[in-house]
Structure 1
Amino acid sequence: MDTEHTERAGQFVQSRSRTANERLHALVPGGAHTYAKGDDQYPENLAPVISRGHGAHVWDVDGNRYIEYGSGLRSVSLGHAHPRVLEAVRRELDRGSNFVRPSIVEVEAAERFLATVPTAEMVKFAKNGSDATTAAVRLARAATGRPRVAICADHPFFSVDDWFIGTTPMSAGIPAATTELTVAFPYGDLAATQQLLTRYQDEIACLILEPASHTEPPPGYLEGLRELADRHGCVLIFDEMITGFRWSEAGAQGLYDVAPDLSTFGKALGNGFAVSALAGRRELMERGGLRHSGDRVFLLSTTHGAETHSLAAAMAVQTTYVEEGITARLHALGERLAAGVREAAAGMGVGDHVVVRGRASNLVFATLDENRQPSQEYRTLFLRQLLAGGVLAPSFVVSSALCDADIDRTVDVVAQACAVYRKALEAADPTPWLAGRPVKPVFRRLV
C-alpha cells in the first residue's frame, strides 16, 4: 500500500463508530433500519455512525466532520436542522401530535400539497414511501379488476412489500404465486411496453415507474406511456419519491407536463421528517373514501400518517421550495459539483473510470475498472479515499445547504482520490488499497 494512502486514511479515528456498529448488529438485524445505510455499503471499518448534523455537514460519534451527500437517502434536501422547518415543527409540538379525530393541520397540509402539485386532485398522507406505492397498486387493482402489476425494470426500488420485493434477489419468504403477478417493462421503450400489454391483455392493472432517474425520458416517452395506459385501460402511476421537488416543485409530472392517474411522494417532502403522500385523480382516490357507491378499498389507514408535526414540516418544505427557488439552487450546486468532479477525474487521467451521471439535482457516480466495467472494488477504493478526506458520499446528491466552499473542498478530495484510483488502474488491481472486503450491492441473495 502506498504511503500517501496510509497517511490520509490515518487522519481520523473511528473507534467509537466501530463499537457502535457492533452494538447495532447485536440488536438490529443488518445493523441499520434501512439496508442502504448498512455498514456493508461502506469500506470495512469505515462506516461512520452519526452523532449530529447541521446544514450540509454531519459529525460521527468520534467527532469527525464530513461534508455529506445523499443526506437521509435523498430526503434531507434543505440540509439538516433547517430553521424554517424546525420552526414549523416546534409550533405543533406543544399542541399535541395525534388525536382521535383529524386535526385541522391535515386540511391545511392537503391544501398546501395540492396547490404545489396541481396535477393531483386528492391526497392522502402516510409515513413511508412503500405504504404509498402499495396503496397505489392496490387501488389500481381494485379500479381495474386486474391482478398483474407492471414495474419498470430499470428502476431499482418501489416498495418493501411482496409485489415488488419478490422480483429482487432478496425474495426469501415471498410466495412464487405473488411474484408471478408482477411483470416488467424497460424504461424508454414504448414498443416493448406495448408488447407486454398485448401479451397480458386485460390483465395488467397498472404501469408503475419513476418518470425519470439517471437519464432523462426520451422525447414523447411519458406522453406515449400515458396513451398506452389509456388505450389498454390500466392505471399510470408515477413514483415521485426522488423526482418530487428535485425535478420541480410539482415533481417530474409538473416539469414534463404529463399527468399520471396516481403518484407517490416522499423523501424530500419532510426534509427528514417521516411523511409520504399518495395523490391522484379524484375518481380513483375516492374509491378509498366514503363518498362513492362501489366496493370499499382499504387505501391507507395509518395511526401515525397524519402526525401533526410531520405535516407541518411538509408544509414548511413546500413553502421554502417555492419561495426560495430551492430546485433551481439544487441544479446550480449539482452542475458546479459535476463539472468539478469531471475536471478532477480527467486531470488525473481517470475521466473514463470515475463517471458522474444523472440530473444535476440528483447526481450519482459510477466507478469503472480497467475494462470500464462497474466495479465494487473500485467503488470501495473511491469511498475510502473520500471518507479519509472528510466527504461522506454514497452518491453526489446535493442539498441546498451546501456552499461553494463545500463543493470546492469536495472536488479537491475527489482529485486526491482519483490520484490513488489511477495507481490502482495502472496496477490493474485495486486490492492493496481496499484494506478489507469490498462494498456490496444492497439486493443480493446471500449475505
Structure 2
Amino acid sequence: MFVRRIAVVGTGYVGLTTGACLASLGHRVVCADVDALKVARLRAGQVDILEPDLADLVARGRSAGRLNFVEGARYAVADAEVVFLCLPTPMGAGGAADLSAVEAVAGEIRDVLPRGAVVVCKSTVPVGTSTRVAALLGRDDVAVVSNPEFLREGSAVRDFLHPDRIVVGADSPRAAERVAALFAKLGAPTVLMDAASAEMVKYAANCFLAMKLSYVNAVAELCELVGADVASVTEGMGHDRRIGQSFLRPGPGWGGSCLPKDTHAMVRIAEAVGVDFSLVKATIETNGRQQRRVVDKLRAAVGTLAGARIGVLGLAFKAGTNDLRDSPALAVAELLAFEGAELVAHDPQVDRPLVGMTVVGDPYAAVRGADAVVLLTDWPEFRSLDWARVADGMTGSTVLDTRDHLDPDALHRAGLVLLGLGREPARDADAVRAR
C-alpha cells in the first residue's frame, strides 16, 4: 500500500475517527480544526469524544509520528495529496443542509492546495455538492470526490476499520481509484460510481433506517391495541433475511446527529426537483408521534403531569455516547416539562445543566420521590440498579421502559409496575404481578 500525505479538516466524530484510523493504516495525517483549545487538547492526547478505542488510536498515531493536529485548514493542506472535508452540515432553514462550513473551507484552501491534490467530501452533503465545491475551488488540476461516511456513534472506529462497503464517487475514475486505494488494506467491498450517486447513497441509506425505526414504532402501537407482543412480532420478522434483525426495536423515537437532519434534507432535495417524498415525510411525522406517545403513557400512569415528579434515566441519544444532538430523550423531556412535570434526570455521561430539568450524578437521586420513572437511554448500568432501593425511594410505583431494557423479574420483586412499548398495558402489569 502506498503511504499518502493526508489532511483531514474537522475533528468531530467523523473527522477525528477518519484521521486516527487512516494514520493506523500507515498514512501520514494532519488534522485541522478552527478551535484552538481543541487542537491543543488533541496534541496533548486528550480526546473529549466518548468513542471506544478512539483515544488509543490517537495516542498511537501521535507516538508513531503519523498523526498531527494544527489550527486552521490552510496549514494542514499545504503538502497534502488528499484532503478530507469532515465538516458539520447541520439542518438549516427549512430543513435543508447548511453547507456554510464546507463552502468556507473550500474558499480558505483553494489557493494553497498542492497541484494534483484530491479533495474528498466525507460530510453528508446534498447531491451536487461535489460540483459546487469544485466550482468554489476553481482549480482544474484538483479533483473533487465524494466518499460518504457510514460511522455509527459508539462504534465509529470499528465501523471505519471493518466497513460493510466503501463508496467512492467521482466524475474522474482516476481520482476515485486514488481515494479507494487509501482503504485497500481494509479489504472491504468498494463501490465506485459518479459523485451525485455517492452523495445520494448516504441520504438513501439513512432515510431507509429512519423509516424502519418509525415503522417498528408504529407496529408497537398497533400491538398494544390488539393485544400482541411487539418483541415476539419483531423476532418473527427478523428471521426473514429480506428484513433482518437490525433496527427492529421500538423506542422513544430516533435521533442523533444524522437521521433527523438527513431525513429533512432528503425531503428538501426531493422538493427541489418536484418530488413529493411522502414516505419520508410520514417517517418524520411518526417519529414525533412516538415521542408524544411516551408522554401519553406517563400521563396515564400518574393522572396528571402538572406538578408530577418524573425520574428520567438517560439523556444521550444512544448508550455509549455523550451526544445530546437531537436526542429523543431530550425531546420527550421537553414535552414533559411543557406539561408542568418536575424532571430530575441522570445519565452516566452527561453532567452539565440542561434547561427544564435537574441533572444529578446519581441514578438513585434521580428517582427519589418520583411519581414515575422513565428509562429513555439503555445504558447497561440501569439494568443492574438496585430496584428495591429504587422502589423505596419512589413515591409512585410505575417504571416506563421505552427501550425494553430492564429485567421484569427484578422490578416485580421490588414491587414496581413495569410498562413498556408494544405490549398491552394491562398485560404488562399482570405479567409483572404474576412473576
Q: Which has the higher contact order (CA 8 A, sep 6+)?
A: 1
Q: Same fold (TM over 0.5)?
A: no
Please identify the structure whose Cα radius of gyration is greater: 2
- Which TM-score tier does this pair reach, normalised by the shorter chain? 0.3 to 0.5
- TM-score, length basis structure 1: 0.33
